[in-house]
Chain A
Amino acid sequence: EPEVTQTPSHQVTQMGQEVILRCVPISNHLYFYWYRQILGQKVEFLVSFYNNEISEKSEIFDDQFSVERPDGSNFTLKIRSTKLEDSAMYFCASSEMGGYNEQFFGPGTRLTVL
């Protein structure tokens, strides 16, 4: 059964460093999303991506964040200069179409900023 994959499963970085989180969505899906969950809190939306551009972003997704689909399979989230408060679980999701389709989630990348 097709699934969303994410790498790495755990990333430890120093404050101020750049990190790139990688996702491989399900192959025939057209909508891609990044969410994050700070420990003990609810899941929060970061950004949605369709047709090679951002379709929506939240207030959290400021200038230090960027997303890219560098090839036909990968979908990446870059954090340019990490802060302590960026420590969270980051989930990638994809859906076949937009609103009337389920979103399928990857297993997440746990980012720890020291």
Chain B
Amino acid sequence: KNEVEQSPQNLTAQEGEFITINCSYSVGISALHWLQQHPGGGIVSLFMLSSGKKKHGRLIATINIQEKHSSLHITASHPRDSAVYICAPSSSNSGYALNFGKGTSLLVTP
């Protein structure tokens, strides 16, 4: 079974700060997904990556396949970024199901 560890579990930042959330997993994967879960419960896919780096607006995701590690960065954080950020590897061995981490709860204060 792929063990997924995220750090930190909780994070409070001031508006404008640069934020990093880390994810480690134990078993080789097909892809790594980053998702955002809003306070109301809805889940939104942010990134799906299998190598290198992706950028979308103020969000950047990187992955190191050899080290089994991924990071999500938020530049110039804003209170509307407050949410739970979840790392979820997937593998062809498990029908591409997402194996969700416990998430990082982010609060950005004005």
Contacts and interface: CB of A to CB of B under 8 A. Distances in A.
Interface stretch (A16-24, A41-49, A70-78): A41-49
Contacts of A50: 95
Contacts of B31: 99-100
Q: Which of B35, B86, B94 has the most CB of A within 10 A?
A: B94
Interface stretch (B18-26, B41-49, B63-71, B72-80): B41-49
A79 B71 CA distance: 37
A110 B42 CA distance: 12
Interface residues of A, number: 28
Given A102-B33, A103-B33, A105-B44, A31 B86 contact: no
A58 interface: yes
A89 interface: yes
Interface residues of B, number: 27
Given A42-B103, A43-B86, A99-B31, A48 B95 contact: yes
Interface of B: 30-31, 33, 35, 37, 41-45, 48, 50, 86, 88, 90-92, 94-103
Given A89-B41, A91-B43, A104-B45, 14 more contacts: A35-B100, A37-B41, A43-B37, A43-B86, A48-B95, A55-B95, A56-B96, A93-B98, A99-B31, A99-B92, A102-B48, A103-B45, A108-B42, A108-B43
Q: Which 5 pairs show the lowest CB-CB distances between chains A and B?
A: A56-B95, A99-B30, A48-B95, A105-B43, A43-B100
Interface of A: 31, 33, 35, 37, 42-45, 48, 50, 55-56, 58, 89, 91, 93, 95, 98-105, 107-108, 110
